[in-house]
Amino acid sequence: MLTTTLARGSFRAMVLAALSLPIALATSAATAAAQTAPSSRPTVAVLYFTNGAISNNADYAPLSKGLAEMMITELSANTNIRVVERDRLQALLEEQNLGASGRVEKETAAKLGKTLGALHMLMGSFVIDPKERIRMDVRAINTETSELEYATSVTGKAENMLELLAQLGTKLNAGLKLPAVPAGFQEGAAVGAKGPNQLRSMMLVSRAIEAQDRKNPAQAVALYKEAVQANPSNARAKTLLASAERTVK
């Protein structure tokens, strides 16, 4: 009797296992598909800004990377879109042997954007005059058509650079008809748009980024520290400093 009961129990367990197997496989397949499915959020990439400073052009050259980094940071605050990290752009530019801050034609920009998986490729430029007024222009290229889809600009004092970048990000979100920013979004909060010495702080951040690209993390840490001291409100400088410090430990 005991043997019969055990046999019946084993048979019942086998049947239940057989019935549950398709469900388990289906659940596993669905989970895997969800993990590998591409994001439906539109993707944006930002090229380095072209330096058009009227005087002291070479001195302002590092801003090409710094402005791009801050533009990426500001746009990334809209969690309903994806923004390509600067490190990926830098690696691609090195691989393609393209000048970090040189001019890139829109066809080339479109190809770079496709490689980065971005639908919108942003091409920026800046001009600073002898009175330290700055104009920043951004053109958006659709990587599928290589056509210009939107262009905008901001103008003001270079000392208010982070505030102007925040305004530029808002214009791009609206002009490109990107998904609405989440509730609670504050323009400029991601970069720390309020605070003193914005131009000096941004120059230091830009030089620190160049030091990182030259594989000199110790120098980058020192420059980021100066940037934070110059403008304690520069939120992105603090984040980059923490990251650079982990590198040198």
Cα–Cα–Cα angle for 164, 152, 176, rounded to 5 degrees: 105
Domain limits, the chain:
43-188, 195-249
Give me the chain's average pLDDT, please. Answer: 87
pLDDT of residue 39: 60
CB 138 within 8 A of CB 155: no
- Give the model's pLDDT for residue 147: 95
Each residue of 149-161: pLDDT tens digit?
999 999 999 999 9
Would the pLDDT of 43 be above 50? yes
d(CA 15, CA 207): 68
CATH classification for the domain delimited by 43-188, as one of 3.40.50.10070, 3.10.20.30, 3.40.50.720, 3.30.450.90: 3.40.50.10070
pLDDT in tens, 165-198: 999 999 999 999 999 999 999 999 999 898 999 9
Which pLDDT value is given to residue 194?
86
pLDDT at 249: 77
Residue 2 pLDDT class (50, 70, 90 cuts): very low
Q: What is the pLDDT of residue 98?
A: 80
Of 57, 226, 237, 26, residue with least CA distance to 129: 57
Token representation of residue 148: 């210009």
User: 38 or 233: which carries more pLDDT confidence?
Assistant: 233
